[in-house]
Amino acid sequence: MAARKSAARSGLEVDVILSTYDAPRALELALWGYAAQTCPGFRIWVADDGSGDGTRALVDRMRAETGLDIRHVWQPDRGFRKSAILNRAIAAADADYLIFSDGDTIPHPRLVETHVRLARPRRYLAGGYVKLPADVTDRLCVDDVRAGRATSLAHLRRIGLRPGRRALRFLGPGPAGWLLDQLTPTPRRWHGNNASTWREHLLAVNGFDLDMGYGGQDAALGDRLENLGVAPLRIRHRAPAVHLHHERPWRDPEGMRRIAEERARIRASGQTRAARGLDQLEDEEGAGVVGGLGGQDASPRASS
């Protein structure tokens, strides 16, 4: 089996980690978004928090249809455990540099290229996204994604998006995007569906906190990276992505309050490592890399 070239011609090895749970249509659109990237050669890890057979079948089909190097990391469904499945993906990945997104987020065609081009030592890249309403989400199709229209402001307007000030978020790579990234007052923080950093930094902070629930594990990781001296670089306007609509029945206001308090404690204490993270991840029956080319015996990378 032929080994692949790295995503960056300089030799930087890049993996993309996509979290998902039982949303195969959204995951299909997201994966086609990565098939349309201008920067080829990266590997994708689908970090699956207990989806059923539909997601496994989709991953197998998309691997064949797109030609992407897709690996599938799965764990049993025991409630919301995003931190655990992301840690499993980090442990399985072997790239120098990791880009994180969600399986319900469609990337701009130059998103990977932008993350790779702007990667810097002792930095993490803080991207952003635009949430699409339900009606626009329903109108998007595979052909839109493959043609790059899913992140085109003109096309999204044609199918019903009313972006308002968010229209500036579609500028993409270029001088205007760079300027807005310098001027925007939006805080620079780790967004789990558009962020990246070096794998060594993620190992140093012990990955994602296993005790963090919905809405907290991503931002808390960023807090610990900054305590470690890994500074954020805002790429909010230069690396656009669109987030497909879904309901959030698990969102708990009391839980969000506790997460805010915990994040304040992390920042105040200077904590750099999660007390329970990558190193504390337990073996589970059936958990790990599953299926097809996602097996542990898959081909090694090529150096370029």
Separation between Cα atoms, residue 247 and residue 241, nearest integer Å: 19
- Determine the structural domain holding residue 208 and report its residue range: 14-275
* 133 inside domain: yes
**Distance set, CA 227 to CA 138, 186, 278 (Å):** 41, 20, 18
> Shortest CA distance to 242 belongs to which of 55, 102, 126?
102
Token pair for 302? 């090529």
In a domain, 142, yes or no: yes
Specify the range with the lowest mean pLDDT, choosing from 89-98, 236-245, 285-294. Answer: 285-294
What gap in Å lies between CA 54 and CA 208, rounded to an integer?
27
Average pLDDT (248-268) is 82
- pLDDT at residue number 133: 97
CATH number at residue 155: 3.90.550.10
Q: Is residue 86 part of a domain?
A: yes
Judge whether 26 and 54 are in contact, CB under 8 Å.
Answer: no
**SS3 label, residue 88:** helix
Number of domains in the chain: 1
Q: Are 172 and 179 contacting, i.e. CB atoms less than 8 angstroms apart?
A: no
| pLDDT at residue 301, rounded to an integer | 41
> Which residues does residue 125 pair with via DSSP β-bridges, in sequence order?
196, 233
- Is position 294 within any domain? no
Flag whether pLDDT at 12 surpasses 60. yes
pLDDT at 58 over 60: yes
Q: Is the pLDDT of residue 68 over 50?
A: yes
**Alpha helix (H) ranges present in the chain?**
24-35, 53-66, 82-92, 111-118, 134-139, 142-146, 153-158, 175-183, 199-204, 217-228, 253-269
| pLDDT tier at 114, thresholds 50, 70, 90 | very high
Alpha helices in 140-275 (DSSP H): 142-146, 153-158, 175-183, 199-204, 217-228, 253-269
The total of other beta-carbon atoms located within 10 Å of residue 81's CB is 19
| Residues with Cβ within 8 Å of residue 57, at least 6 apart in sequence | none
- The tens digit of pLDDT for each residue in 171-228 reads 889 899 999 999 988 888 898 999 999 999 999 999 999 998 777 889 999 999 999 9
Sign of the CA dihedral with 5 first, then 7, 11, and 13 last: negative
The answer to the question of residue 246 being in a domain is yes
Task: Tell me if 232 is assigned to some domain.
Answer: yes
The predicted model gives 261-265 an average pLDDT of 92
Split at pLDDT 50, 70, 90, the class of 1 is very low
Bigger pLDDT: 72 vs 128:
72
Q: pTM value? A: 0.92
Q: Is residue 5 part of a domain?
A: no
Q: Is position 156 within any domain?
A: yes
The more confident residue out of 283 and 302 is 283
Query: Would you place residue 157 in the very low, low, confident or very high pLDDT band (cuts 50, 70, 90)?
Result: very high
Please give the full DSSP string across 208-246, using - where no structure is assigned.
Answer: S-TT--TTTHHHHHHHHHHHHT-EEEE-TTTS-EEEPP-
